[in-house]
Chain A
Amino acid sequence: MSEIAVETHCLTKIFESKIKSLEPRNSIFKRKEPLIVTAVDHLNLKIKKGELFGLLGPNGAGKTTLVKILCTLLPPDEGEAYVNGFDVVRQQMDVRRSLGTLFSVGERGVFWRLNGYRNLEFFSAIYNVPRRKRHERIMEVLDLVGLKDKAFENYQKYSGGMKRKLALARALLPDPPILLLDEPTVGLDVISSRSLREFIRKNLSEEAGKTVLYTTHYIEEASQICNRIGILNKGKLVACDTPDAIKGIVKKGEVVEIRATSITDAQVGAIRTMEGMIDITSEVEDSVLGQKRLRLHLKNIDSLSMVLDFFLKEKIRLIDLRHEEPTLEDAFIELTGRGLEE
């Protein structure tokens, strides 16, 4: 029996659309130009059974497109994909029976005028949960996600976190071996987000042994709970390994974190172009004091002297300087050449 839960070979999805040309034309009709976007580009991926696999990538990297192909919602243009050993094109019903899917907007498809229990009752019929076991299963998943006490409360009264949990309960209803969770914590507050992550790691992955494909653009989220991480950029898998191994990719460089005041964006831009600089990220720590935190990724530590000379010359006040271990974000920037929020 195969140990692989999800597998893709050269999987490709291309979207074609027409956009209005920006160039003026002497016609009442605007010229339209073809726009071709390769959302998933010859992707080869293997996820083992029981693995909690994180798929990391910025917006538009192709994460949701991949999830939609795997759950049979989108047909691929090239290549093959298998879920639980079933072909996503030729064996769609078998694929659907093997999966529980949580879309990034989990509230959709839920009936707002019904309570949580009635919603799950409807979906348990749709997902072929045997009638005799239906009530028991609904209460079981509601208990699992911590909504048993709110089962008969109207969905409209649910908080954002509760809505997300109900969407997850719906995905768990048929007790599928594989779960596709597309950005499950989007829109949740810090506490709800942490509790949901813990639930996925502890209850679903470790205790229930489910295979989970977890897409996110939150780096820390992926590094905290996933066994392995794949980094997707412009539809291509640019890295696939354990979080520590991926961090190791940037070991060849040095990471220095600096806190400073009175530093402008133009000055940050000037530092970015210095020799020996791989990348720099900056974030405002205190807008009143004009305090910023810079994270420099240098080819070697000698390059730091140039930065410090620049600080002296520009009279930038240095508050703190720390030599840091590279993070997953550093690895991501090195691999993709851009930050996750870009």
Chain B
Amino acid sequence: MFQEVEKIYYFIKRDIISFSTYKTNMALMVLSALFGALSYAYLGSNADMQKVLQLYNISFTAYLLIGMAFSTYIGQALTLVQKTINPWHLEEVLVSPTGLGTFIIGSSAWGFIWSTIVVAIYLAVGSLAFGVVLSINVVGTILVLGLGIGTLIGFSMIGAGILILIKQGDPITWLIGMLTSVFGNVLFPPQVMPYPLQIISYFVPQYYFFTAIRLMMIGWSIQMILPEILALTVMCAIILPSGYFIYSWCLKTARKNGTLSWF
């Protein structure tokens, strides 16, 4: 077990060293996060969004900031497994005595650490520059993040599995990305849309994720968001194992066909 944890540490170390060599890119990413936070917060502070305030009992600035900040996590989880299927690295790891699970977690750990930094930047800018008041329920936030990330990793594994077989174009990631932006409760609440479109939101896991995470950020208790937690748990319990099964099957098929490195 310690050996596996240590491997993950070396994955992170490798990625930090690699990432730090792209100094301009690193600076631009930090600037993008700052700029994004400032622009959206400005938009929120000037927009007339009484409707949103009534629905969530928070300002539109806080609504947008939290949405933007955590969409980084969701984006990271959604593309997580695809990033690990670089055929060269995959083959090198598959011939070593390292399990696939360690490889996937290790390869993506740095991405999540970076996403956490980005979230912290967004929230800090929101608090310091725009006076957004946050009262974070830490346990609830970790729980909602875990369920949301788990669900999205499930989708990511389905997308990656398809990509391993068809080699280019991943419809799952594209579809989930599109559903997130429209029905995911990221930039605007689905309640402002016509009712038939609102119904679609109830089948999109991100809707429950963003609703729950916002309420955790403003200090609600877990008991108060039990319906969202329950919906996310059910979706995670179905999508995560299904994703693992589909990914493993696609990987096995590609290995059998000898097409693993055909990219």
Residues of chain A having any CB pair with chain B under 8 Å: 13, 15-17, 39, 65, 68, 71-75, 93, 96-97, 99, 101, 103, 105, 108-109, 111, 113-114, 118, 121-123, 125-128, 131
Contacts and interface: CB of A to CB of B under 8 A. Distances in A.
A128 B14 contact: no
A126 B17 contact: no
Contact of A74 (B92, B96, B97, B255): B255
B92 A127 contact: no
A17 B257 CA distance: 9
Contacts, number: 72
Contacts of B14: 111, 114, 118, 122
Interface string B1-44: 00100110111011001100110000000000000000000000
Contacts of B7: 125-126
B258 interface: yes
Given A97-B97, A111-B14, A126-B93, A15 B88 contact: no
Interface in B87-107: 87-89, 91-98
Contacts of B21: 113
B18 A108 contact: no
B18 A73 contact: no
Contacts of B258: 13, 15, 39, 65, 68, 74
Nearest to A68: B258
Residue with the greatest number of chain B CB neighbours at <10 A, chosen from A15, A16, A71, A73: A73
Interface string B195-208: 00000000000000
Interface of B: 3, 6-7, 9-11, 13-14, 17-18, 21-22, 87-89, 91-98, 255-258, 260
A109 B87 CA distance: 8
A171 to B, nearest CB: 10
B98 A126 contact: yes
Given A113-B21, A126-B7, A73 B255 contact: yes
Contacts of B3: 128
A204 to B, nearest CB: 18
A82 to B, nearest CB: 17
Given A114-B18, A126-B96, A127-B96, A109 B10 contact: no
3 smallest beta-carbon distances between A and B, as pairs: A109-B92, A108-B88, A125-B10
Contacts of B95: 71-73, 96, 99, 101
A105 B260 CA distance: 15
Contacts of B97: 93, 96-97, 127-128
Nearest to A69: B258
Contacts of B255: 73-75
A10 B171 CA distance: 41
A68 B256 CA distance: 11
A109 B93 CA distance: 9
Contact of B6 (A75, A99, A125): A125
Contacts of A113: 17-18, 21-22
